[in-house]
Amino acid sequence: MLRLDSLSCGYGAMQAVHGLDLHVAKGSITTLLGANGAGKSSTIMCIAGHVAVHSGEIRYKDRKITDASPMQRIKDGISVVPEGRRLFPNLTVKENLIVGGYSRSRDESNRELERMLSIFPRLEERLGQRAGSLSGGEQQMLAIGRALMSKPELLLVDELSLGLMPKIIDICYRAIAELNKDGLTIILVEQSTHRALEVADQVCVLESGRTVWQGTSDEAQNNVKMIDSLLGLREETSDA
Ligand SMILES: Nc1ncnc2c1ncn2[C@@H]1O[C@H](COP(=O)(O)OP(=O)(O)OP(=O)(O)O)[C@@H](O)[C@H]1O
Ligand SMILES: [Mg+2]
């Protein structure tokens, strides 16, 4: 579905990701892990076309998309739930969702809206409410819902569970599992390992913009201590 070959990207002269190789199979879930500043968001936003490629290649469904515009990538089926959600706080829930579906026809958009509301019924109750007045969890559901409105085949989710209560994290992870079961390919960026390992097929750990570990989720689960130490979590645990 997606192939990153020796991908380097960044901001002007600043290189955030150095020579990343990643193959994402259709219908799979890939988890990208890494500490603050590891290059996770840069990678995701580069795939979506918002961060400049310095060298290397991005291939999607066997076509090179390295130079494609963000809009073209949305039309091709790549959608992103950005870090910090970036909703339009003064628009209603419904208006935010409509904005997410702007690349599709009205009929397609209405169908996606129905499907999305069945995944997150809580949003249906709040369609007329301003997005800025939603709780953090509802905002995350809306951010995912808005990304789904463009009918993606590849969904990129940055920090799914950051700052959310366990109950809401459960709802979001259940939605991810359900969408994946329906065939959606997903790249999930997370800081907290364990939950993300449970749903993943493949795991990639980044440090300072480079891959320091890559393997299957089973391999990752068998090496949780090693991964925690790569993420700098083990020192914190032993200090506590
Ligand atoms: N807009 C920007 N301009 C310049 N440098 C940036 C920009 N955004 C990110 N960077 C730099 O790129 C590097 C990677 O940042 P990135 O946001 O990709 O990390 P991350 O893994 O998502 O971290 P976090 O877990 O904190 O979200 C960091 O050194 C960061 O300072
Ligand atoms: Mg980030």
- The CA 158 to ligand 2 mean position distance, Å, reads 7
User: Residue 126 above 90 pLDDT?
Assistant: yes
Looking at residue 101, its pLDDT comes to 83
Alpha carbon nearest to ligand 1 atom 11, residue: 16
pLDDT band at 78 (very low <50, low <70, confident <90, very high): very high
5 DSSP β-pair partners: 57
Structure confidence by residue, pLDDT tens digits, 209-228: 999 999 999 999 898 888 88
Q: What percent of the chain has pLDDT over 90?
A: 72
Alpha carbon nearest to ligand 1 atom 3, residue: 11
Alpha-carbon distance 190 to 145, whole Å?
19
Alpha carbon nearest to ligand 1 atom 16, residue: 39
Chain centroid offset of residue 107 CA: 26
Q: Which of 32, 85, 63, 80 is nearest to 227 (CA)?
A: 32
Q: What is the three-class DSSP state of 61?
A: coil
Alpha-carbon distance 219 to 239, whole Å?
26
Q: Stretch 71-87: mean pLDDT, rounded? A: 93
Looking at residue 234, its pLDDT comes to 57
- The CA 139 to ligand 2 mean position distance, Å, reads 18
Looking at residue 235, its pLDDT comes to 53
Among 77-86, 103-112, 178-187, where is mean pLDDT lowest? 103-112
**Backbone φ/ψ region at 93: left (φ over 0), alpha (ψ -120 to 50), beta:** alpha
Residue 179 tokens, joined: 């969408």
Enumerate the H helices of 48-120 as residue ranges. 70-76, 93-100, 106-119
Q: Which of 167, 161, 86, 172 is nearest to 131 (CA)?
A: 86
Structure confidence by residue, pLDDT tens digits, 133-163: 999 999 999 999 999 999 999 999 999 988 8
206 DSSP β-pair partners: 34, 211
Residue 14 Cβ < 6 Å to ligand 1: yes
Looking at residue 238, its pLDDT comes to 43
Non-local CB neighbours of 9 within 8 Å, separated by 6+ positions: 15, 16, 17, 42, 43, 46, 51, 52, 53, 54, 56
Structure confidence by residue, pLDDT tens digits, 147-203: 999 999 999 999 998 888 899 999 999 999 999 999 999 999 998 778 888 899 999
Fold of 1-77+152-162+184-240: Rossmann fold (3.40.50)
pLDDT band at 95 (very low <50, low <70, confident <90, very high): very high
Looking at residue 205, its pLDDT comes to 94
Structure confidence by residue, pLDDT tens digits, 229-239: 888 865 544 44
Alpha-carbon distance 168 to 195, whole Å?
13
The angle at the Cα of 178, spanning 175 to 180, to the nearest 5 degrees, equals 110
Looking at residue 239, its pLDDT comes to 43
Listed in order, the ranges of the chain carrying CATH 3.40.50.300 are: 1-77+152-162+184-240
Whether the pTM exceeds 0.95: the reply is: no
- The CA 83 to ligand 1 mean position distance, Å, reads 11
| DSSP 8-state code for residue 240 | -
